[in-house]
Amino acid sequence: MALYKKNIPLVILLLLAFVAAVAQEQAMNHIIAAREYLLADNTTRAKQELDSALAIAPNNALANALMGDLLNNRGNYLKALLSYDKAILANPNDAELYLKRARLHDKLNNHQAYIIGDYDRAIALAPRNTAYYIEKAQYIAGSASSSSSRPDYPTAVTTISQAITFNQEKAELYYLRSKYLFGAGQNLAALADINKAITLNQASDKYMAQKGYINFMIGNYRNALADYTRAIRINDRNPTYHEFKGHANYNLSRYAAAYDDYSIGIDLLIRDITGRKGRINNDDPANKQLRRILLYRGMSLVQEGKPYDGCDDFKRAYRMGETKARNYMRKYCN
């Protein structure tokens, strides 16, 4: 009897461990079922399974993370944030959780410090994952800091530079740093980086177009023309490339060539718009670009001494919602 009493605490511990193991197994079964329902796009059943899992194991990191994903996809952002918080408390070494929470803070327009803090934690946990640096830099370059109305391009440059230190052959990193350097006003450094990206990947129309954009914006129109011509040889379906090739020709007083470039861009945009289902509104990017190019094509005709021929483009742009076209119509279409 004395021996039995002596072993009671051990028996209780073993029993508790057994009960906990059974509970964890049950919770995991619910989690596995929830994943299957999520893959089948059955979010209602997935949520039921996750609710059951969390009722058994409320601090389970995986269950909370999946619940955060589900709620985030449903647009229940505040509840999703709470789920990610619980998942991080349970597993503070999972870099992906910080990345998901950073994105959610961004959706909720929360303070920049929360967002950058989570990106930094993700990077600290996975310092050789270039995707984390890229996403952090894209966020920084795409938003204005609390102390400035301009995006923080220098910090974006620094972030990409950190990624380049251990991945010096990734062309995309030089492309991104080129964009941020140009945004920071460092034009020569931006050109050096985009040239490096092109050296690493000569088949990228995007990189050639970026070089063309930089050259165009700093007034090197001949170089811009050559760059956009090369980009179009790789991909002739991008209307923006034809638009900027037209701008380069226009600024070189090659108005007939500019007209042809603008016409190709217009045709590509019209094909894109007519291929969509339903009508597009005036604020649609394709609509805005189309009416903008119509204005430039009309002006190329004006510069060629054919102002009345440009009136059709001005009128079309005006009917599409381009208010500036009214001034051109008054000046050239009387």
List Cβ neighbours of 13 (8 Å cut-off, separation of 6 or more).
Answer: none
Closest C-alpha among 239, 247, 327 to residue 290: 239
CA–CA separation, 186 vs 175, rounded Å? 14
Query: Topology of 203-334 in CATH?
Result: 1.25.40
> What are the pLDDT digits (tens) for 221-260?
999 999 999 999 999 999 999 999 999 999 999 999 999 9
Q: What integer pLDDT is reported at residue 8 of this predicted model? A: 56
Region 161-187 average pLDDT: 96
pLDDT at 16 over 60: no
Under 8 Å CB-to-CB from 301, ≥6 apart: which residues?
255, 259, 307, 309, 310, 313
Give the sign of the dihedral formed by CA 270, CA 275, CA 278, CA 283. negative
Average pLDDT of span 21-37: 77
> How far from 134 is each of 158, 170, 180, 202, 207, CA to CA, in Å?
11, 12, 12, 21, 16
pLDDT value of position 4 = 52
Residue 5 has pLDDT above 60, yes or no: no
Average the pLDDT over 101-112 and give the result: 94
Q: What is the pLDDT of residue 292?
A: 95
Q: Which residues lie closer than 8 Å to 139 by C-beta, 6 or more apart?
A: 102, 106, 115, 116, 119
Residue 281's pLDDT is: 79
Instruction: Check whether 26 has a pLDDT greater than 80.
Output: no
Give dist(CA 150, CA 112) in Å, integer: 14
- Domain positions in the chain: 203-334
Q: How high does pLDDT run on average in the chain?
A: 90
Residue 15 has a pLDDT of 44
DSSP output for 65-112 = HHHHHHHHHHT-HHHHHHHHHHHHHH-TT-HHHHHHHHHHHHHTT--H
Mean pLDDT of the region 28-48: 89
Q: Which of 53-62, 88-97, 255-264, 292-301 has the lowest mean pLDDT?
A: 53-62
The angle formed by the CA atoms of residues 303, 309 and 310, to the nearest 5 degrees, is 60
- Token code pair at residue 53: 């899992």
Tell me the average pLDDT across 46-58: 89
Of the listed ranges 23-37, 125-139, 161-175, 201-215, the least confidently predicted one is 23-37
Residue 98 scores a pLDDT above 60? yes
Instruction: Please tell me what DSSP assigns to residue 284.
Output: S
Per-residue pLDDT at 6: 54
Q: What confidence tens digit (pLDDT) does each residue in 273-285 have? A: 888 876 777 788 9
> Euclidean distance between the first and final Cα of the chain, in Å?
114
